[in-house]
Amino acid sequence: MTPRRIRRASTVSRLAGLQVAIITTNVGVEHDELVIPRDGLRERGASVLHASSKAEPVLTYRHDLEPAEIIDPDTTLDSLDPTEIDVLIIPGGTVNADRLRTNPHARALVQALATVGVPIAAICHGPWLLVDAEVIAGKTLTSYPSLRTDIGNAGGWWVDEAVVRSDENGWPLITSRTPADLAAFVDTITAALTDRA
């Protein structure tokens, strides 16, 4: 067995039994920001549920404009139980994020998880939901650069880094900028899950 396999097996055993929820709407989701964390964390042993606004297929895109895969979600947003989630992931995609930020179930879920200290991870335009859920005051985070003003207006501190973990206010927030940062994003989520094992 190679050292890589030994490390992987160890990660799988540490994440077994941990529940990840990825939330999206049903249109405009950035493909890789949904699929790479979903598949990567499943490979590392976590149980991953993809919950969408409606019990309908999810239309994904690359770079907001190029149609990609149509994905069937596992469940709906309103059926998620916050007490069963160990990490929440919010992918981007401009249309997805803009619709998600107005979804009352999504905002309530973020608020409930932040209140009890559950890690939340958001990438690209995903932090828009955090802005509307009013949970980022005092936090340091990154995002797609166009969100910088929104984050600042909501009381957050924006930085230009591949991945940022902010533990202020009693809960871990993990953020990244674009699909190019996904490897670091998934590794940092893995570390947050390991902390909860």
Residue 69 three-state SS: strand
> Does the annotation count 63 as an active-site position?
no
Which of 50, 63, 105, 125 is labelled catalytic?
A: 125
Catalytic-role residue among 50, 63, 105, 124: 124
49 C-beta neighbours (distance < 10 Å), count: 17
| Residues with Cβ within 8 Å of residue 13, at least 6 apart in sequence | 45
Contact 189, 163 (CB under 8 A): no
Is the dihedral angle over the CA atoms 64, 49, 14, 197 positive or is it negative? positive
Supply the DSSP string of 71-93, one letter for each residue: E--SEEGGG--GGG-SEEEE---
Q: Percent helix, strand and coil across the chain, each rounded to 5? A: 45, 25, 30
105 is catalytic: no
Active centre residues (catalytic): 124-125
